[in-house]
Structure 1
Amino acid sequence: MIGPSYLLLGPETGEKEQRLKEIRNELRKQIGSDPELHRFYPFETENGEIFAALDNNSLFAEYRLVLLSQAESMSASLTTSIAQYLAHPSTSATLVILSSDTSVSAKIMKAVPKENTKVFYELFDNQKTDWVRNFFRRFGLTITSDAIDLLLDLIENNTQELRTVCTQLAMFWQTGEKKVAIGEDDVEAYIHHSRQEDAFTLFPEIAAGSFKQSIDTLHSILGSGDSGAPILLVSGLLWQFRRLLSIQESIASGKSEYEAFSSASVLGKASSLRNPKDKSTYHTALATYSLEQCRDIITVLSDADISSKEAGNDLVELVLEQMLYQIIIKKGKKTQGIPFASFLQRKGL
């Protein structure tokens, strides 16, 4: 039986997303239909929007699943309001509070049942190495320690992306019918082969506000036939815009651009800019998107993350085209039913 509230904490996003998916699936079985989904961030619910979603019965769905992300940045007043809501929650909604920190306000920790609270910790370095080695062993493959180290350096420290990239690498390796151990050079060759176009080559075009070029790059990425490309694309762009937001917040607090680049972070992890090309890209992005627009864009990307995972193969392209339109043309403002005639014609929709 799904409860009225959950608290999912910690930096390990892959397992956290898996638990969130389980909650949604359990809700679907419990109510017999998909719950109406709402996602909020503390900075966009200052006027009580989250409580309207929690308390108001929908005309289109009998139950609502409401997500509050980045709960570590909640204001004192929002924390108090959330705690008051949790004392008398709606019977037709479930609130899931998410944070990359391992704890939040004591008021919230006390209000959410202990059995519905879970902390998802990052894997330790030795655990990550064993995880990767055992993953390839299940495919009948071996991988050298140097290759594992390089692989872990190239991807984010969460099991969701780790699993996706390792699966792709295993398939890539088996295609070549190679029976020897995967080495460091092989990992590097795979990354070059499979990631000629990705979130990190798309971001400079988005930073420059080039919609046409961004759409072309998107089609190149999706044209690779890689089923995991949409997930990696959205998560990569989320990472880039969170990094951009940290830079904008530093500049807003009075730091110089140089200082902001040096102190950049993503979800609390240091991610300073050292490469001149990266600095140029982010300098352009600062001129293209304001701090408030960047916050809106992060919301757009979070919504697209959910939608792209749920969309079928015929619709994921449309979801991502709409995402780019909302980011580049609308600067993060929400839009409804954006028509893409070329897409609709190609798909016969």
Structure 2
Amino acid sequence: MGAGVRHALIAFNSSENPYKTQLFGIGLNRCQQLGRAATDTDTTIEPVVTYVDGKLSQIACGREHSALLVERLDGLTHVAVCGSNAFGQIGLRTTSRCAVDPPKLPTFEMSDLTPLDSLMAPGESPVKVQCGLDHTVVLTSIGRAFAMGWGADGQLGAGPKSTTGDGQPVLVSGLKGAPLTNISSSTDFTLALTADNRLYYWGNAEYGQCMTGAKIDQVLNPIHVPFDFGTIKDIAAGGCHALVLTDDGRVYSCGYGALGLGPGTIATLQSTHIEGLRDIVAIFASTDRCLAIDSQHRVYSWGLGNAAGRLGNGTVGKNAFEPQLLDTCPLAIDSSMLALGNDMALMTAIVS
């Protein structure tokens, strides 16, 4: 599953033919971000259904584009992309742009990101993909990261000459030490974790979400974040905030907004422990809201912009400055099958 800005994708693999994946898309499809040609309307009334040749292992969604990890019959994994390429965020050299309303020019339907394949070393393959608002980051099996798309705030992590997207994936530069093991991005910055527990950051940091004690307009090359609170288990990059989970189940927050630290602390330049969370196993962040799942498969939610009840806490209009336990009982939520977007969240229960 994957959720972005007003659209989401859900994949279903058949046991009879695991290499033929049924893909359901909901929400906006103005730029074919659901993997199918756009219609005369911006929003689908019913799920859009398409089929992908291969087994999907991950889905990521941005503002108007989507990216998927697809394992083909030959055993090789590729990144498949669809949607707007207005800033090069789907990594294809093309002049196609997002269609106007009503749509007049088609953009790309689902297509393999072949330029990335040509940049990888023999035996190297993509293992994780993340979509920011208008850029995409791919983690590979040897711990490298490639980025493509809009880079005005350093989203590509490749220096001052990479601040505009041209549709060509670029290698994120300046990462030192052990290879990367994880990446996270949802808006206009990226967090990355190495095998030796080093945390890196690049992109927009004007709200101090880079956890260095300072506000930085543009982080054009990855910077090392000094995190001294234990071994890092998970990372989550939001909009004006960042989350870090340690292996003892503690969550740390930094930046601006509903940080989970209570209404009295809406800004901090240092990683700060969220007291209301314990025994957490997974964290998620989007533009201005967060989710966390504990060892008992319970879900906590906090954030801003609850006009449509998108925080899931049973209220409408109220912001949540501290984590609130959602009423998912008796269901146990699968932390590996959860997608948090800008306007929606998708959760899957564990079936015994």
TM-score by length of 1: 0.26
Higher normalized strand content (fraction of residues): 2
Q: Which has the greater radius of gyration?
A: 1
Higher normalized helix content (fraction of residues): 1
TM-score by length of 2: 0.26
| Higher RCO (CA < 8 A, seq sep 6+) | 1
